[in-house]
Amino acid sequence: MATEHKNLSYYDESHLPDASEFRIGIVVSEWNPDITEKLLQGAKETLLRLGVKKDHITVWHVPGSFELIYGVKRMQKNIFIDAIIAIGSIIRGETPHFEFVSQATAQGIKDLNVLNDTPVIFCVLTDDNKQQAIDRSGGKHGNKGVESAVAAIKMAWLKKNS
């Protein structure tokens, strides 16, 4: 497994751009809230620690990971944001539903990045079981929300400077 010996929360702050003027959006799935709210917490705490002003962080909730696509699209169109983090958690079940939702969500987020000018960070956990999700949302592998916040700052900088 790719993250077996890696803590997702490690980053070198000295190599990140000044984030004090960035506006970051976060769209969060309400499905598996014990996981997604920890990812949200990790992302928000990291953005604040790295200099993003509290009133420059906008959070919207949507029912599930599939709905992240529409939520992000509306955020891109309706408010000025430098980057958006899409947070979700899809845990494999007994039916193919996991495959359909995971694929559609990934493709939808990819499409938004291709079609629009606001970068979207994919912070959607696609895990085989609940323990894997726990391990990546503040457990032994760190918090993917932290990693996504760092990526959002880097992509916001790229957007403003390219």
Catalytic residue positions? 97
**Sequential DSSP letters for 29-48:** E-SSHHHHHHHHHHHHHHHH
Percentage helix, strand, coil for the chain under 3-state DSSP, each rounded to 5: 45, 20, 30
Measure the CA–CA gap between 138 and 141, rounded to whole angstroms: 7
**Sequential DSSP letters for 70-98:** HHHHHHHHHS--SEEEEEEEEE--SSTHH
**Interhelix angle 68-78/97-115, nearest 10 degrees:** 20
DSSP one-letter code for 51: T
